[in-house]
Amino acid sequence: MNVSEIIKPENQVFCKTKLMTDATLSYCPGCGHGTAHNLTMEVIDEMGIVADTIGVAPVGCSVLAYDFMNIDMTQAAHGRAPAVATAISRLWPNKYVFTYQGDGDLAAIGTAETIHACNRGENIVVIFVNNGIYGMTGGQMAPTTLSGMPTSTSPYGRDVKTMGSPIKMTELVANLPGVYFATRHAVHTHKHARKAKKAIQKAFENTRLKKGVSFVEIVSNCNSGWKMTPLESNQWMVDNMFPYYPLGDIKVDGVLK
């Protein structure tokens, strides 16, 4: 038996996500963004909605999301993705509109846009990747940086007395009537990734049913920014991020858990 006999469709056990381009990911090895991208694209592909999907990319590490996601995308100004998505969704009410944002983008500079798009109950999906740091600009303190966590702008650790406490955006927006689904996941293990994918799928289903905002937070690592190996960063995330940002559903089908 030679190689060409083995390479047959029936023997295929895994393939690259169809809706991901061939561009080399700009993320650091070990970063969770790649998995979060894959899961989002898998859901869109499996639901067969690519022709009706418009994504909105943020500013931050995932600013180039449109280089990797083989779909129509608009790149928004820093923090403004929910406003951009609002207009797209209002003008194309039968489209699936999603934003893909990090914590600096969504929870700091874009807080007003996040809250008000959620409050209006825009029929959109928000995928919120929270790694507690500004990755792209080199590891500065984010609104979600944990108490005591050192960053380049809080080199002695975040002092909540002067720098405020890490903000729990998903809990915050879950309290708004316009939010139909608010949930928090992770993508560092297969088990977690599978759960996260189910949540993303439910979010896009909600869009189909015109239920309002579906807010999916993915707690992720930033091994470069946290100055750890990928494995260490995942363990640190489990030990420190998860206790403060507990995984699980916060609001399902419009009902707070």
Partner 1 sequence: MSELKLMKGNEALAEAAIRAGVDAYFGYPITPQSEVIEHLMAERPEERTGMIVLQAESEIAAINMVYGAASTGKKVMTSSSSPGISLKLEGISYLAGAELPAVIVNVVRGGPGLGTIQPSQADYFQSVKGGGHGDYKLYVLAPASVQEMSDFVEDAFDIAFKYRAPVLILSDGLIGQMMEKVYLKDQQERISDEEVIKKYGGWAVTGKTDRKRNIITSLDLQSEKMEARVHRLLKKYAQMEKEDLRFEKISCDDAEYLFVAYGSSARIAQKAVELARKKGIKAGLLRPITLFPFPKQQLFELADQVKGILSVELNAGQMVEDVRLSVEHKVAVEHFGRTGGIIHTPEEVLEALEEKIIHNERIGDYKTRESSIL
Rounded to the nearest 5 percent, the helix, strand and coil shares of the chain are 40, 20, 35
Residues 86-125, mask of contacts with partner 1 (x by CB under 8 A): xxx-xxx--x----------------xx-xx---------
Verify binding: residue 25, partner 1, rule CB under 8 A: no
Main-chain phi, psi angles of 14, to 5 degrees: -155, 145
Stretch that binds partner 1, among 45-53, 127-135, 142-150, 201-209 (CB under 8 A): 45-53
Distance (Å, rounded) from C-alpha 42 to C-alpha 1?
33
Using rule CB under 8 A, residue 85 touches partner 1: yes
Min dist CB 42 to partner 1, Å, is 16
Contact flag: residue 84 with partner 1 (CB under 8 A) = yes
Alpha-carbon distance of 128 to 109, in angstroms, equals: 14
Candidates 56, 51, 97, 46; CA nearest to 77 is 56
String of contacts with partner 1 for each residue 49-68, x by CB under 8 A: -xxxxx-xx-----xx-x--
Length of the chain, in residues: 257
Q: Between 68 and 180, name the residue whose CB sits nearer to partner 1.
A: 68
- Asked if 100 and 55 count as a contact pair (C-beta separation under 8 A), the reply is yes
Q: 70: which DSSP letter?
A: -
Report if residue 250 touches partner 1, rule: CB under 8 A: no
**How distant is the alpha carbon of residue 239 from its chain centre?**
20
Q: Is 73 in the site for partner 1 (CB under 8 A)?
A: yes
Q: Given the rule CB under 8 A, which residues bind partner 1?
A: 50-54, 56-57, 63-64, 66, 70-77, 80, 83-88, 90-92, 95, 112-113, 115-116
